[in-house]
Structure formats: C-alpha cells, structure tokens
C-alpha cells in the first residue's frame, strides 16, 4: 500500500493540498474515535488523528523530515519524532500537549489496553485543540 506522501509525489500534489488531505484524515479519525465505545479502538483512532495532524503540519511547513518520509515511503519513528520536536517549537504548547496525549493513548490505551473509556475521553479536548492549531496553519498555507 502506498503512503499518502508517495501518492502525493506521484500525483504532483502541492504541499498545501497534501496537507489538507492529511488534515481531513485527522478530523475523520477524530470523529471516528469519538464515536467508538471500545477504549482500545478509541485510543488508536485518536492517536491516528494526531499522527495525521503531524504529517499535515510537516508537509505544509516544508519540513525536511516530510521529504525524508516521502522518500522512505513511510513515516519511520525517528522521522516522526524529529518532526514533532520541530513542530512543537513552531505550533506551541497546545500542539505539544495534543501529541503527548495522543502518544499516551497509543501506548497505554491501544498497545497496553490499560485505559477506560473515561480515561480516553478526558484526553479528547487536548487533541481537538492540537488539531485546530494545525488546521489554522494549513488554512494559512504554512505562513
């Protein structure tokens, strides 16, 4: 299966269009996560929302890590975490907190299945605020 970055390259999408697609996917995962009743699946959908938001921001800002991921054909962990560090500096604490909450859900909620639905739901507002920060960035075209 081809990654969105690889498809964007093949289709010659400009970064703003690729960023909008990642952002649409982020909000889709957010809504799917909020509709789930299983904390494990909810955790993973919410994490995927944050993951797509990271990709959207990295692409729109033209981070070298986005190009590296496209060349690799996927967002390897080292590329992803490096991009998150750069983005947190550009987007601020709301973004950093959204990523931290998303990662917590990915590990504790999905992989370890240690969270209740209430534990997961407590983290949704942080993720929503982080996604809104990225949406503002994408709407401005990265400027």
Domain annotation covers residue 88:
yes
Domain annotation covers residue 105:
yes
Domain annotation covers residue 104:
yes
Domain annotation covers residue 1:
no
Range of the domain at 78: 13-138
Mean of pLDDT over the chain: 90
Number of domains in the chain: 1
Domain annotation covers residue 8:
no
Percent of the chain with pLDDT over 90: 80
Measured distance CA(117)–CA(132) in Å, rounded: 23
pTM: 0.89
Domain annotation covers residue 85:
yes
Give 62-72 pLDDT, tens digit per residue: 999 998 998 88
Give 16-59 pLDDT, tens digit per residue: 899 999 999 999 999 999 999 999 999 999 999 999 999 999 99
What CATH number should be reported for the domain holding residue 97? 1.20.120.330
Q: Is the dihedral of CA 140, 137, 16, 46 positive or negative?
A: negative
Measured distance CA(67)–CA(74) in Å, rounded: 10
Domain annotation covers residue 40:
yes
Give 54-90 pLDDT, tens digit per residue: 999 999 999 999 989 988 888 999 999 999 999 999 9
Domain annotation covers residue 6:
no
């Amino acid at each position: 299966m081809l990654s969105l970055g690889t498809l964007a390259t093949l289709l010659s999408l400009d970064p703003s269009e690729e960023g909008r697609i990642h952002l649409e996917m982020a909000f889709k995962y957010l809504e799917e996560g909020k509709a789930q009743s299983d904390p494990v699946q909810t955790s993973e959908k919410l994490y995927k929302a944050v993951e797509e938001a990271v990709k959207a921001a990295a692409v729109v800002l033209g981070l070298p890590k986005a190009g590296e991921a496209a060349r690799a054909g996927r967002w390897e962990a080292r590329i992803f975490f490096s991009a998150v560090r750069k983005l947190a500096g550009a987007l601020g604490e709301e973004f950093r907190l959204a990523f931290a909450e998303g990662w917590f859900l990915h590990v504790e909620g999905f992989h370890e299945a240690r969270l209740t639905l209430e534990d997961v739901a407590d983290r949704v507002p942080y993720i929503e605020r982080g996604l809104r920060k990225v949406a503002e960035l994408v709407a401005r075209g990265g400027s």
